[in-house]
A and B are shown apart, each in its own frame.
Chain A
Amino acid sequence: MNAAATTKHEATIEAVPDLPIIIITREFGASAERVFRAHVDRDLFARWVGPRSIDTTIETWDARTGGSWAYRVGRAEDGLDTSFYGSFHEVRPNERIVQTFTWAGAPDQVMLETMTFEPLEGGRCRIVGRSISESIEVRDQMLASGMDVGVQEGYAQLDELLADGSA
């Protein structure tokens, strides 16, 4: 179920079938220090975490071990208004961020995310993000939804398949 990257530096994804894990790996043409900073600096983070066309508002931000975070994506008038929150379990400068992640729409579910920042030659770096869900079912819901507005079209496709009896 691995989708190989189409170019050298595109993100790769691995959904381990037997475990509730999603692993996303990506290389950057910047040092681990810079990429790390873009993950812990409130203003920098807000500039890339959400879709370009939709406002991202950081509501809580304390990026250090034992701290917490929360942000909102979109506004009610955009037809999309959703928020995410969690805790920073460990923030190890330039090396590692461990945090919990909850979508406010499913407050009983929490994911544990571990992101490592590995320096590469030539001032580049690689980050590896592992998301662990509570169960394979929850992981699959994550994958299916993509936590995205596109979720409905995915369900519509599956509905069609189920309706015509091929599934």
Chain B
Amino acid sequence: MTDQLSRVFQALADPTRRDMVARLAADGDASVGELAAPYDVSVQAVSKHVKVLEEAGLVSRSRDAQRRPVRLEAEVFDLMTKWIERYRQQAEERYRRLDAVLATMDEGDASGDGQRDDAPIDQQGAAS
């Protein structure tokens, strides 16, 4: 399961493949030849990139049409984006709890930052 996700990330680690995915997302299905047009590389090289994206489940190619257009599999892409967004949300939730803690520190600490006599012992010697 995680192998699948790793393949997705690895596929997107390459700037050319990222660009291809972005173009498929913006412009819709395209043939390998159309995908290759803007790059200074051979159609064979682009074909290889498409194969990596295909193995990662990011794109598919229809079997019947003669030009076999490459199609973005938005579901897999969305799932990965969702995972990153959930990770971000977890960080945001943690930091909202920190906001609340900071607010209580403000109330009990009108004299200023870190100037309290009961400042944590933990900080002592930290600069050494």
Contact = CB atoms under 8 A, between A and B. Distances in A.
Interface string A5-35: 0000011110101100010101011110111
Contact of A92 (B81, B82, B127): B127
Interface in B92-113: 92-95, 97-102, 105-106, 109, 113
A41 B94 CA distance: 16
A156 to B, nearest CB: 9
The secondary-structure label for the interface of chain B is helix
Residues of A in contact with B, size category: 35 or more
Interface of A: 1, 3, 10-13, 15, 17-18, 22, 24, 26, 28-31, 33-38, 40-42, 44, 47-49, 51-52, 61-65, 91-94, 136-137, 139-144, 146, 148, 150, 154-155, 157-159, 161-162, 166-167
The secondary-structure label for the interface of chain A is mixed
Given A146-B83, A155-B1, A158-B1, A30 B12 contact: no
Contacts of A142: 87
Query: Top 9 closest A-B pairs, CB basis?
Result: A167-B57, A33-B113, A48-B97, A13-B88, A41-B120, A30-B102, A11-B92, A63-B122, A64-B126
